[in-house]
């Protein structure tokens, strides 16, 4: 019988992590620093004058930077941080819109040996607070428009010694805040890059699970090996490509494939710091003659909703390779993109924890629309039986996605949470928390998450964080946050709320609660619907059973409810 442990897709059977080590000139024990590899090394290879970044904002302002600019600007920020006394190993949070300083700052933090902690600028003060407190962050680099959120929580963050504002210009700052202006700062041509080695911590990304607050996924500099190779092979990056990854670096896609992957390959990339608009996006693709585009299913569904005709107004003939990540890529989206752009979106599956693409449709591999493809060479993936924790041998059986640990970009732990990390491993497999099946040809088919995490528009939000925020609202006694279906975002947050005695729920209260969560957490975490209930389904030990509510929302069978409390 055919085994459903799949290790190698056919088209690139010769690809191996050692290819990346050789290409990057890395030998075990060498110094390896992502910041240096993405800038200085490219310059040393004779590509200093090559364009690294073309940046544009919502208003149409645009700036272009070479790899030498990347080198010098990241040096300048690294030198500035070191000058403030920020030490190697300390966490430096990047809390900015997608402005050039975010990208240079990311490389600069890594160059001085700090741990880069990127967070979405859309986060409210409570989301920010949770993550800065957990990481014991020393410095935060932000913009004037976001500094108020930092001010609100600063007194509760004793480790936060430096608040750096990149666009203060001559506006007054508060005591303990420091202005940094890249255009005015003396250019630092030479900076002694921190001699990090393979296991030196590099990036800390916060990701949501079912229980507890978000966990800090801790990456190391050696992750570069995986990110370099998967960007080159899966995204098919070539010397003359113009590459666009429309992910924000607050999300792992925006760092692994919005900074490290492309720049370690010396690829020119474009960044659009602006919200979604089909016309704007197509105009951007056309203007810059983008050749490789890495996007996400929700964005693709939004484009589909606008209709193929909008695309026809723009010259998208430069596009040659499309890829997608973050949520299930439905078959219709693959077929639509083939018809509209002449190229199908290639699905890629991975996680904050994996650091790189692990299951994918490689370029040249026949695509089965709706399937995630096969494991990347060097990754051993299987569907694990949830009872025996052995790989399912029968094709088509649904089980848990399991990966054999040990590839370069796998996280080395959750920050200050070794137990949480240990719980992800069973019987020698790292369990992703997702369910899938494998067909007789070895293609993986995503089925759903195996926990209560809500995937809204490709962003994971944890029910615990939302419920904690809900409980702070004066009218709320108890709550459960679950996913409810949505045409564009696939899932959105719905909250079931039991009110305190004497309070009745009405539309005003509903809006008030929604805004309350939006301000504290983020627009994505905000419940799009609130249902007032008198009680919530619970286990006999008093735990709220979200899966019952979720199943109702999706019209699915509720499953075994024999342990639920009879209310
Ligand atoms: C990169 C990233 C990881 C979770 C993952 C799964 C979902 C990601 C997917 C996908 C179906 C795909 N996911 N890619 N589901 N098809 N191609 O998304 O990281 O934010 O940690 O999310 O996202 O549920 O476990 P992260």
Given this model, what pLDDT does residue 472 score?
93
- How would residue 543 be classed by pLDDT, with cut points 50, 70 and 90? confident
* Beta strand spans in 212-344 (E): 215-220, 242-245, 268-273, 292-295, 321-325
What is the overall mean pLDDT for the chain? 94
In whole angstroms, give the CA distance from residue 321 to residue 291.
7
Q: Which ligand 1 atom is the nearest neighbour of the CA of 353?
A: 21
* CA-CA-CA-CA torsion sign (129, 134, 139, 142): negative
The proportion of the chain whose per-residue pLDDT surpasses 90, expressed as a percent, equals 89
Q: Which amino acid residue places its CA nearest to atom 22 of ligand 1?
A: 351
Q: What is the pLDDT of residues 77-130, one digit of tens each?
A: 999 999 999 999 999 999 999 999 999 999 999 999 999 999 999 999 999 999
Given this model, what pLDDT does residue 212 score?
80
Ligand 1 pocket residue status of 455, Cβ below 6 Å = yes
Q: Which ligand 1 atom is the nearest neighbour of the CA of 359?
A: 17
The proportion of the chain whose per-residue pLDDT surpasses 70, expressed as a percent, equals 96
Q: Which amino acid residue places its CA nearest to atom 8 of ligand 1?
A: 326
Q: Which amino acid residue places its CA nearest to atom 3 of ligand 1?
A: 351
Given this model, what pLDDT does residue 14 score?
59
Given this model, what pLDDT does residue 567 score?
41
Q: Which of 278, 274, 271, 283 is nearest to 244 (CA)?
A: 271
Q: Which of 444, 455, 490, 525 should be mutated for ligand 1, with most atoms under 8 A from CB?
A: 455
- How would residue 517 be classed by pLDDT, with cut points 50, 70 and 90? very high
Q: Which ligand 1 atom is the nearest neighbour of the CA of 453?
A: 24
| pTM attached to this predicted model | 0.93
Rg (CA), the chain: 23
Q: Which of 210, 300, 326, 483 should be mutated for ligand 1, with most atoms under 8 A from CB?
A: 326
Ligand 1 pocket residue status of 449, Cβ below 6 Å = yes
Q: Which ligand 1 atom is the nearest neighbour of the CA of 207?
A: 21
Q: Is the pLDDT reported for residue 167 higher than 80?
A: yes
DSSP codes joined into one string, 283-346: HHHHHTT--EEEE-HHHHHHHHHH-HHHHHTS--TT--EEEEESS---HHHHHHHHHHHSSPEE
* CA-CA-CA-CA torsion sign (155, 157, 527, 302): positive
What is the Å distance from ligand 1's center to 452 Cα? 14
Q: Please, what are the domains in the chain? A: 451-554 (3.30.300.30)
């Amino acid at each position: 019988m055919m085994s459903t442990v799949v290790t190698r897709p056919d088209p690139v059977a010769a690809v191996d992590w050692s290819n990346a080590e050789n290409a990057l000139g890395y030998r075990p024990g060498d110094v390896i620093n992502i910041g240096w590899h993405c800038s200085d090394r490219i310059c040393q290879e004779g590509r200093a004058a090559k364009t690294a970044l073309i940046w544009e904002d919502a208003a149409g302002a645009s700036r272009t930077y070479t790899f030498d600019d990347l080198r010098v600007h990241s040096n300048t920020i690294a030198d500035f941080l070191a000058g403030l006394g920020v030490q190697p190993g300390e966490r430096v949070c990047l809390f900015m819109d997608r402005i050039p300083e975010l990208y240079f700052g990311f490389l600069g933090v890594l160059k001085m040996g700090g741990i880069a902690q990127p967070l979405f600028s859309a986060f409210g003060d409570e989301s920010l607070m949770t993550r800065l407190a957990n990481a014991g962050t020393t410095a935060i680099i932000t913009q004037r428009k976001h500094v108020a959120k930092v001010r609100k929580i600063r007194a509760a963050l004793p480790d936060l010694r430096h608040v750096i504002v990149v666009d203060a210009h001559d506006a007054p700052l508060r005591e303990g805040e420091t202005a940094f202006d890249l255009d005015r700062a003396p250019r630092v041509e030479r900076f002694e890059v921190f001699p990090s080695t393979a296991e030196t911590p590099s990036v800390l990304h916060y990701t949501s699970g079912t229980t507890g607050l978000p966990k800090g996924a801790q990456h190391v500099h050696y992750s570069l090996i995986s990110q370099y190779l998967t960007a080159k092979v899966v995204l098919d990056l070539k010397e003359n490509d113009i590459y666009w990854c429309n992910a924000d670096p607050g999300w792992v896609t925006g760092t692994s494939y919005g900074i490290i992957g492309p720049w370690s390959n010396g690829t020119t990339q474009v960044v659009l710091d602006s919200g979604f608009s089909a016309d704007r996006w197509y105009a951007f693709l056309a203007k810059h003659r983008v050749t490789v585009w890495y996007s996400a299913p929700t964005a693709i569904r939004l484009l589909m909703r606008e209709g193929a005709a909008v695309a026809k107004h723009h010259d998208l003939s430069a596009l040659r390779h499309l890829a997608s990540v973050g949520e299930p890529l439905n078959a219709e989206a693959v077929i639509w993109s083939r018809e509209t752009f002449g190229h199908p979106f290639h699905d890629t599956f991975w996680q904050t924890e994996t650091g790189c693409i692990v299951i994918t449709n490689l370029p040249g591999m026949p695509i089965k629309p709706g399937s995630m493809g096969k494991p990347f060479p060097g990754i051993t993936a299987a569907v694990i039986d949830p009872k025996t924790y052995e790989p399912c041998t029968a094709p088509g059986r649904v089980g848990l996605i399991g990966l054999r640990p040990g590839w370069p970009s796998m996280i080395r732990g959750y920050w200050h949470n070794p137990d949480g990390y240990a719980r992800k491993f069973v019987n020698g497999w790292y369990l992703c928390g997702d369910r899938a099946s494998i067909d007789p040809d070895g293609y993986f088919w995503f089925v759903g998450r195996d926990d209560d995490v809500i995937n809204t528009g490709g962003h994971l939000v944890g029910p615990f964080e939302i419920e904690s925020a809900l409980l702070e609202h004066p009218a709320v006694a108890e709550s459960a946050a679950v996913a409810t279906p949505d045409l564009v975002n696939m899932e959105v947050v719905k909250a079931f709320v039991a009110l305190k005695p004497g309070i009745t729920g009405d539309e005003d209260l509903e809006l008030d609660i929604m805004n309350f969560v939006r301000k504290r957490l983020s627009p994505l975490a905000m419940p799009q619907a609130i249902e007032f209930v008198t009680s919530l389904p619970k286990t006999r030990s008093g735990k709220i059973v979200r899966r019952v509510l979720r199943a109702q929302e999706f019209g699915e069978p509720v499953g075994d409810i024999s342990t639920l409390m009879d209310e």
